[in-house]
Structure 1
Amino acid sequence: MWTVIESPIGPLRIVEQDGAITAIEFSPFRDGTGRPLGDRADDAPLLVEAARQLGEYFARERTEFDLPLAPTGSAWQRSVWAQLVAIGYGETASYGQIAARLGKTNAASRAVGTANGANPIPIVIPCHRVIGANGTLTGYAGGLDRKQLLLELEQDALF
């Protein structure tokens, strides 16, 4: 099941399967991703709740999400995504810092970046909070403009 919501960074498609959120997709949506979508279900309770929490996030009223998540990925990807959730609201971490938290050397930064880019549930699993070692914004599946807006939204909410 899925629904689409409007947000300050454009339409978002939220996908649910078996009682958990499996994807949040940026527009333009691409079907044929291999993710089961099912039917549109704007009134499905979990999708309504996810939309509510995302709305609160964009209104600067929510700093953490409380949703059942089931991202599909390898064990390595899931370990990286678990580290992303640990990055606090309004904070950032570098790819190297994430690698170190996983007990890897800085050489694993590229693998962290690849896993970060494969995150199927952006915003809720906050891959936008990962930046380059020198503090610059680096790749983001939703585009650097969206990444910048999300980081600014969080920074503005803290002050």
Structure 2
Amino acid sequence: MTVPTELDLRFRETAARSGLLDAAYDVIESELGPLLAAVTDHGLARISFDPEPERELEALARLAGPRVLRTPRALDGTRRELDDYFAGRRTSFDLELDLRGLTEFTLRVLGELAKVPYGQTETYAELAARSGNARASRAVGMVMNRNPIPIVLPCHRIVGSSGSLVGYGGGLERKERLLRLEGAML
């Protein structure tokens, strides 16, 4: 038996409005291709460049709980801010973030990462130093690689010590496109 699309969508939206979801997700079309985005009642929890959601959704269910549904309207605010960013109308995000389950070091690094201004870059070493351990460049690189909310937490702004583009979970082409969008690369 197949449930009609409209009925399915109404079911999902009703579940979200009634507080019956642990997390909601949708696939958002962007300048970089499709992005899987997910929110919980704590805030934005995931952005993934991988349009195949199984692995991300399993991790999200472990974090937030098993009731995870594709509910497009729950992502309206995220979609709007990402659209504004890609259109050049937004240089920072006003979204609440759900960073539960991350280590203290990761939270410290992501907190410092969030302070790197739009259109500017910083090296892994500089970010490590600002995070409290100048010799933790490689550990900072791992945090950037596992950043659960790229673009909003701008790991694309972190570059190698020579200024070269290295190590981006979404691929170096996307990193370059984001830096060009922000005017950090001409």
Query: TM-score scaled by structure 2?
Result: 0.79
Of the two structures, which has the highest relative contact order with CA contacts closer than 8 Å and spacing of 6 or more? 1
How far apart in 2 are the matches of 1:29 and 1:153? 26
Equivalent residue in structure 2 for 1:144, among 154, 165, 172: 172
Matched, 1:110 2:135: no
Contact 2:113–2:155 (8 Å) recurs in 1? yes
Q: Count how many residue pairs are aligned between Structure 1 and Structure 2.
A: 155
Equivalent residue for 1:154? 182
| Higher-Rg member (1/2) | 2
* Residues 26-60 of structure 1, C-alpha deviations (whole Å, 9 max, x = no match): 1333413422271111112xx10110000000000
Off by >2 Å, runs of 4+ in structure 1: 27-30
1:91 aligns with 2:120: yes
Residue 110 of structure 2 corresponds to: 81
**CA separation in 2, counterparts of 1:29 and 1:82?**
28
In structure 2, list runs of 5 or more residues that go unmatched: 1-23, 62-66
Residues 1:39 and 2:69 are matched in the alignment = yes
User: Residue 92 of structure 1 contacts residue 129 of structure 1 at CA under 8 Å; is this kept in 2?
Assistant: yes
Query: Counterpart of 1:6 in 2: which secondary structure?
Result: strand
Q: 1:30 to 1:40 in 2, by over 3 A?
A: closer
Structure 1 range deviating more: 26-35 or 124-133: 26-35
Q: Which amino acid aligns with 1:55?
A: D
Distance 1:3 1:91 in 2: 30
Residue 6 of structure 1 corresponds to which residue in structure 2?
29
The AA in structure 2 aligned to 1:102 is S
Structure 1 distance, partners of 2:112, 2:174, is 21
Identity, % of aligned positions: 42
Q: Does residue 53 of structure 1 match 2:53?
A: no
Q: CA deviation at 1:71?
A: 2.1
5+ residue gaps, structure 1, are none
Q: Judge conservation of contact 1:10–1:27 (CA < 8 Å) in 2.
A: no
Q: 1:85-114, CA deviations, whole angstroms, 9 ceiling, x for partnerless residues?
A: 100000000000011112322x21001111
Answering whether residue 47 of structure 2 is matched by residue 24 of structure 1, we say yes
Q: Distance in 2 between matches of 1:81 and 1:117?
A: 12
Backbone CA RMSD of aligned residues: 1.8
Contact 2:125–2:137 (CA<8 Å) still a contact in 1? yes
SS of 1:135 mapped into structure 2 = coil
SS at match of 1:150: helix
AA at the equivalent of 1:124: V
1:86 and 1:151 map into 2 onto residues whose CA distance is: 16
